[in-house]
Amino acid sequence: MSTLDNVAKLAAALAEDEGAAERVRAHAAGTQLISTLINLRNGKGLTQRKIAAKMGVNASKVCRMEAGTDEQLHWGDVLRYMRALGVNLSLLVDDPSLPAAERIKHHVLNAHALLEQLRSLALKMGEGEEITAKIKQFYGEVLFNFMLRFCSSYARLPQTGPINITSGPAEASTETSAVHACEPEMASR
């Protein structure tokens, strides 16, 4: 059971009102962005006053932002808040009406761009640097975690067998030999 479910049940018990649990869940759903902002601010050890000063607004504005709902936020305020935190904001526009394959391709291309940023950093740092070693370790962790989840999903497909890989659009008709990365031995580990 999640923390949110526990809090919702506790609220309902304390209020002696079953509807309180649903109101707690609705509030949590309507304040996901605000919760993220507050967690980022707290993680950086910043107070509302410090964020307000960096944003160039009164502390009361930040207090009102954090006490409201996601729907009450203004886009410009969110951008200023994020800049004040010194973090980048990425906006993912995901169209659930698109085929899953298209959506996955989009995510893979984004992940590739981020990995290229890390590779570029490793090249700048050079061999022997601790950060380069950490980046190489991270690449291994990414690959391991991806393959673990990929193989888990693949193994649950009906009639799974070897995976056939094509090199790309130009060679789409030429399939290479089977890849055995998701054989049962690995999937069961």
Q: Which pLDDT does position 170 carry in this prediction?
A: 53
Which H or E run contains 128?
A: none
**Residues 98-133: pLDDT tens digits?**
898 888 888 888 888 888 988 888 888 877 778 888
Contacts of 155 by beta carbon, 8 Å cutoff, 6+ apart: 182, 184, 187
For CATH 1.10.260.40, list the domain ranges present in the chain.
3-85
**Over 60: is that where the pLDDT of 184 sits?**
no
Q: Which pLDDT does position 49 carry in this prediction?
A: 97
**Over 80: is that where the pLDDT of 147 sits?**
yes
User: 166 φ, ψ to 5°?
Assistant: -105, 150
What pTM was computed for the model?
0.55
Least confident segment among 30-34, 38-42, 102-106, 171-175: 171-175
Specify the CATH number for 3-85; select among 1.10.3720.10, 3.40.190.10, 1.20.140.10, 1.10.260.40.
1.10.260.40
**Over 50: is that where the pLDDT of 176 sits?**
no
Q: Which pLDDT does position 62 carry in this prediction?
A: 96
Q: Which pLDDT does position 165 carry in this prediction?
A: 66
Half-sphere exposure at residue 67, Cβ-oriented, CA atoms within 13 angstroms: 7
Which H or E run contains 8?
A: helix 3-15
**Residues 46-100: pLDDT tens digits?**
999 999 999 999 999 999 999 999 999 999 999 999 999 999 887 777 788 989 8
pLDDT category at 177 given cuts 50, 70, 90 is: very low
- Output DSSP code: residue 163: B
Please tell me the distance from the alpha carbon of residue 39 to that of residue 42, in angstroms, as a whole number: 5
Does 188 or 158 have the greater pLDDT score? 158
Contacts of 178 by beta carbon, 8 Å cutoff, 6+ apart: 161, 162, 163, 164
Q: Which pLDDT does position 172 carry in this prediction?
A: 44
